[in-house]
Amino acid sequence: MNILIVGSGGREHSLAWKIKQSPKVKEIYIAPGNGGTASLGQNIPVSVDDIPGLVALAREKNIGLVVVGPELPLVLGLSDALDRENIPCFGPGAYAAQLEGSKAFSKFLMAEAEVPTAGFKVFEDFALAEEYLKARDYPLVVKADGLAAGKGVVVATDFAEAREALHDMMVKQVFGKAGETVVIEDALQGEEASFLAFCDGHDYLLLPSSQDHKRIGENDTGPNTGGMGAYSPAPVLPQEKYEETAHQVIRPIIQHLAEMGRPFKGILYAGLMFTQYGPKVLEYNVRFGDPECQPLLMRLESDLVEIMLACVEQRLKDVTLKIRPEAGVCVVLSADGYPKQYKKGHVITGIDEAEKDSLVKVFHAGTSFDGSNILTSGGRVLGVTALGQNLQEAISRCYTAADRINFQGMYMRRDIGQKGLEKT
């Protein structure tokens, strides 16, 4: 069958790379894709928020499965629109996608489904929210309800900081409509991990644990980014705890949505914090994490297309996941200045040398191909991903490969995976 992948990041390159290995696949189209996906299929310049354009493309190319990378098209109803045309889509409908698209919706659903999460209140009125902030102890967390490109969460250490965040969101409307409603949450403490599951609406299959590195600087300092690296498994969530944890954070949501007649098909991603009171859900995402997807897919032995079709056709209970025993690590190479202003258009060298090791794969994120050179075209440029017998070996292999790559202003964190090493 022909497959359409929606998105343009490192996640989508790794999806295309894994999907290409399936004997079920004829042609791969990527909308809009990047310099890496161009070598695996055909990039088509339709943007991820152009729902009618994506549906038309799927019809025109006789697509047998649409695989959606980012959350935006799901929140905008791409899965529902494809459903109306009888085109199978891996990714939930707009209702269930509110788990990511609206933090208030997500918290209310968690409360109804009795999922462990931080205490919270939802406000639509600035004055009432401000009064609440005055009465509370700190730290407190202020969150814009809607999608805010990962910038809508402020962990405030005092009233002044919390009020400023609230004012930015509700009065200055720096996130537009996304900040009209805010969620104010108790602050939790602990280590974070990502826990992802394939879901067919009723059953689920767990992927191994992983951990992202959101801050730009080493030792988790500086501003938040889209993610500077990831590794799997994350010892903070060991394999012997997967089932128990899934019963707390995955199963109740899947069951609750099924009972509401809104079955969740796709990837459910629980962002967890391991507190002294056990795991709590910080957020749900309705898609693969980026960069968690890269090491996870390198560790996945099973045919990804077969699993995705089982999700869409609701027959996941007949499928098992084969995972390679090796650890996986992804180090993101970013452009100088990211996550603020950065330059584009620099020539990238050394990717082929980095990939000479068969356990290394360089996934493109912000790149383009000008016919002869691969150029930088985004903030997160490449995700160098490697497997190893253990985490230490995977980390060493990853950095050896990363050091073979070069472009002007290249930056990477040197401590990806260290937290996992300290635990093993």
Exposed / middle / buried, residue 195 (Cβ in 10 Å: 0-12, 13-18, 19+): buried
Contact between 12 and ligand AMP per CB under 6 A: no
Q: Distance between CA 162 and CA 303 in Å, rounded? A: 47
Contact between 92 and ligand GLY per CB under 6 A: no
187 binds, among ligand AMP, ligand GLY, none (CB under 5 to 8 A by kind): ligand AMP
> What is the total count of residues that contact ligand GLY (CB under 6 A)?
6
227 binds, among ligand GLY, ligand AMP, none (CB under 5 to 8 A by kind): ligand GLY
Contact between 12 and ligand GLY per CB under 6 A: no
Contact between 149 and ligand AMP per CB under 6 A: no
Q: Distance between CA 229 and CA 413 in Å, rounded? A: 8
Contact between 3 and ligand AMP per CB under 6 A: no
Q: Which amino acid is at 278?
A: G
Q: Which amino acid is at 398?
A: C
Q: Which positions from 256 through 275 interact with ligand GLY, judged by CB under 6 A?
A: none
- Residue facing ligand GLY at closest CB distance: 289
Contact between 283 and ligand AMP per CB under 6 A: yes
Out of 153, 174, 258, 421, name the contact with ligand AMP by CB under 6 A. 153
Q: Which positions from 243 through 272 interact with ligand AMP, judged by CB under 6 A?
A: 271
Contact between 326 and ligand GLY per CB under 6 A: no
CA angle 284, 184, 267 (to 5 degrees): 5
Contact between 192 and ligand GLY per CB under 6 A: no
φ, ψ for residue 412, nearest 5 deg: -145, 150
Provide, rounded to whole angstroms, the least separation between the CB of residue 225 and ligand AMP.
12
Piece of the chain touching ligand AMP by CB under 6 A; list 64-72, 87-95, 183-191, 416-424: 183-191
At 383, which helix (H) or strand (E)?
strand 380-388
Out of 212, 279, 377, 381, name the contact with ligand GLY by CB under 6 A. 212
Contact between 227 and ligand GLY per CB under 6 A: yes
334 binds, among ligand GLY, ligand AMP, none (CB under 5 to 8 A by kind): none
Sign of the dihedral through C-alpha 393, 394, 396, 401? positive
Contact between 63 and ligand AMP per CB under 6 A: no
Q: Distance between CA 55 and CA 63 in Å, rounded? A: 10
Contact between 155 and ligand AMP per CB under 6 A: yes
What is the separation of C-alpha 101 from the centre of its chain, rounded to a whole number of angstroms? 13
354 neighbors 412 (Cβ within 8 angstroms): no
Provide, rounded to whole angstroms, the least separation between the CB of residue 358 and ligand GLY.
26
Please spell the DSSP secondary structure of 62-125, one letter per residue.
Answer: TEEEEEE-SHHHHHTTHHHHHHHTT--EES--HHHHHHHH-HHHHHHHHHHHT--B--EEEES-
Out of 16, 188, 216, 270, name the contact with ligand AMP by CB under 6 A. 188
CB atoms within 10 A of CB 34: 26
Q: Which positions from 208 through 247 interact with ligand AMP, judged by CB under 6 A?
A: 214
Q: Distance between CA 154 and CA 224 in Å, rounded? A: 11
Q: Which residues bind ligand GLY (CB under 6 A)?
A: 212, 227, 285, 289-290, 292
Q: Which residues bind ligand AMP (CB under 6 A)?
A: 118, 141, 153, 155, 185, 187-188, 192, 214, 271, 282-283
